[in-house]
Structure 1
Amino acid sequence: SALGASGRDLLRKLVEAMRNPRPVEVVRDAPCQEMVIEDPDLRKLPFLFFGERDGGPYMTAGIIIAHDPEYGFNASYHRLMLLDERRVVARILPRHLEEFIRRGARRIAIVVGNHPAFMLASAVTWKLGVSELEIANALKPIRYARALKSGILVPADCELVLEGRITDELAEEGPFMDVTGTYDIVRRQRVIEIDCITMRRDPIFQQILPAGSEHRNLMGLPREAAIYAEVSEVCEVVDVRLTPGGCSWLHCAISIRKRSEEDPRRAIEAAFKAHPSLKHVIVVDEDIDLSNPLELEWAIATRSQLDKDLVLKPDQLGSSLDPSADQITRKTCKAGLDATIPLKADRAKFIKAKIPGEDELNLEEYVKGS
Structure 2
Amino acid sequence: MGESPITDISEALATKGKVITCRAAVAWSPGTPLTIENVEVECPQKMEVRVKILYTSICHTDLTSWLGENEAQRAYPRIFGHEASGVVESVGEGVEDLKEGDHVIPVFNGECGSCAYCQSDKTNQCEKYRVNPMKSTMFGDGKTRISIKGQPVYHFLNTSTFVEYTVLDAGCLVKIDPSAALDKMSLLSCGVTTGVGAVWNDANVKEGETVAVFGLGAIGLAAIQGAKIRGASRIIGIDINQDKIDLGREMGMTDFVNPKELDKPVHEVINGMVKGGVDYSFECVGNLDVLRQAFLSTRDGWGVTVMIGIHTSPRFLPFHPMELFSGRKMVGSVFGGVKCKTHIPSIVKKCVNGTLKLDAFITHELPFDEINKAFKLLEEGKSLRCLLHF
Whether the TM-score (by the shorter chain) exceeds 0.5 is no
In our comparison, the structure showing a higher alpha carbon Rg is 1
More strand by share: 1
TM-score norm. by structure 2 comes to 0.26
